[in-house]
Amino acid sequence: MNDEGTGSGTGGDGSRQPVHRPVLLREVLASLQLSPGLVVVDGTVGAGGHARAIVQAIGSGGVLVGLDRDSEILAAARALLLADVGGGRAEARVSLHHLPFSSMREALAAAGQPRCDRVLLDLGVSSLQLDRPERGFSFMADGPLDMRMDASQPTTAADWLATVGETELADTIFRFGEERHSRRIARHLVAVRRRTPIVRTRQLADLVTEALPGGARHGRIHPATRTFQAIRIRLNDELGELERGLQAAHDCLRPGGRLCVISFHSLEDRIVKHFLRARFDVVTKKPIEASGDELRDNPRARSAKLRCGIRREEAA
């Protein structure tokens, strides 16, 4: 259910610095089958964890084209990856772009590459987004109800929640959160917003909890998890982006090239599975999940599913 993508914790040196742990790293590298000189698109470069390993594997002569729609995160990735290149550990050319992955054609063209050999998409939000209350993604700490992956977009979650109709709100919570109490939650939120604007993450989490019947308030996950997921997916058009991004990956990959996608909930995984079956030779008949060792270190990997396919030859 949960859709959190990467982990953070205490630094190995005992500091409280966030430690970035790319999900399923070993499995991603095995599925991508990298070799020196390849052109690779990382469509969700995030904090650069996977990208860093890719850059090292493709070596000098390789090209990494990285995209993220969060400019703040991209700056962190830039610092990490360019430090690698500058420090001489890897010499691949790195070209980073503040763009959604549906625009990978444009990013490849800007890097002077007509096509690519590999595409990686590691979907969802980064721990760098979740762990910063001011970004408004998490109910674990109070912050403004924002949830925009791309802060240059005009509409925040608070703006959307202030004007959306009750039926659309209920349908969104049902469809993107798979929340069976969606109608009760929508009714309560619409009644409350007539008196008070809903503008904080904790406020929304408390209101969702209040709307639920007593028995539904004490499950395995926080009672607001599904509603937060739904609003985030809707606000960022995550499923529409995924469909366009898969098509773009298909168009950009050379025949024989590989597409690997990590998803974090069933709505994404279903789209990926059907797209790969229709357009690719599927490598992962069943999705690859995190090992027990990884889950011990990084509980956020528990819902990650990796699927991989090989781009078919072009029809003659």
Ligand X SMILES: C[S@@+](CC[C@H](N)C(=O)[O-])C[C@H]1O[C@@H](n2cnc3c(N)ncnc32)[C@H](O)[C@@H]1O
Residue 294 makes contact with ligand X by CB under 6 A: no
Out of 146, 179, 241, 268, name the contact with ligand X by CB under 6 A. 241
Binding-residue total with ligand X (CB under 6 A):
25
Per the listing, tokens 């470069």 go with 45
Find the shortest distance in angstroms from Cβ 215 to ligand X.
33
Written as six digits, the tokens of 85 are 């290149």
CA angle 229, 235, 237 (to 5 degrees): 95
Residues 137-176 within binding reach of ligand X (CB under 6 A): 149
Residue 3 makes contact with ligand X by CB under 6 A: no
Out of 24, 31, 38, 49, name the contact with ligand X by CB under 6 A. 49
Q: Give the span between the Cα atoms of 207 and 203, in whole angstroms.
A: 6
Find the shortest distance in angstroms from Cβ 158 to ligand X.
19
Decide the pairing of beta strands 63-68 and 39-42.
Answer: parallel
Out of 27, 84, 117, 122, name the contact with ligand X by CB under 6 A. 122
Out of 34, 66, 68, 230, name the contact with ligand X by CB under 6 A. 68
Residue 44 makes contact with ligand X by CB under 6 A: yes
Residue 136 makes contact with ligand X by CB under 6 A: no
Residue 18 makes contact with ligand X by CB under 6 A: no
CB-nearer residue toward ligand X: 5 or 136: 5
Q: Give the span between the Cα atoms of 89 and 97, in whole angstroms.
A: 22
CB-nearer residue toward ligand X: 49 or 223: 49
What is the SS3 assignment for the chain?
A: CCCECCECCCCCCCCCCCCCECCCHHHHHHHHCCCCCCEEEECCCCCCHHHHHHHHHHCCCCEEEEEECCHHHHHHHHHHHHHHHHCCCCCCEEEEEECCHHHHHHHHHHCCCCCEEEEEEECCECHHHHCCHHHCCCCCCCCECCCCCCCCCCCCHHHHHHHCCHHHHHHHHHHHHCCCCHHHHHHHHHHHHCCCCCCEHHHHHHHHHHHCCHHHHCCCCCCCHHHHHHHHHHHCCHHHHHHHHHHHHHHHEEEEEEEEEEECCHHHHHHHHHHHHHHEEECCCCCECCCHHHHHHCHHHHHCEEEEEEECCCCC
Residue 303 makes contact with ligand X by CB under 6 A: no
CB-nearer residue toward ligand X: 103 or 227: 103
CB-nearer residue toward ligand X: 69 or 234: 69
Stretch of 30-38, 69-77, 172-180, 194-202 contacting ligand X, by CB under 6 A: 69-77
Residue 50 makes contact with ligand X by CB under 6 A: yes
Out of 32, 41, 47, 108, name the contact with ligand X by CB under 6 A. 47
Residues 248-267 within binding reach of ligand X (CB under 6 A): none
Stretch of 11-19, 47-55, 186-194, 251-259 contacting ligand X, by CB under 6 A: 47-55
Out of 7, 18, 22, 62, name the contact with ligand X by CB under 6 A. 22
CB-nearer residue toward ligand X: 103 or 182: 103
Find the shortest distance in angstroms from Cβ 32 to ligand X.
12
CA 120 to chain centre: 11
Binding site for ligand X (CB under 6 A): 5-6, 20, 22, 43-44, 46-50, 67-70, 73, 100-101, 122, 124-126, 149, 241, 245
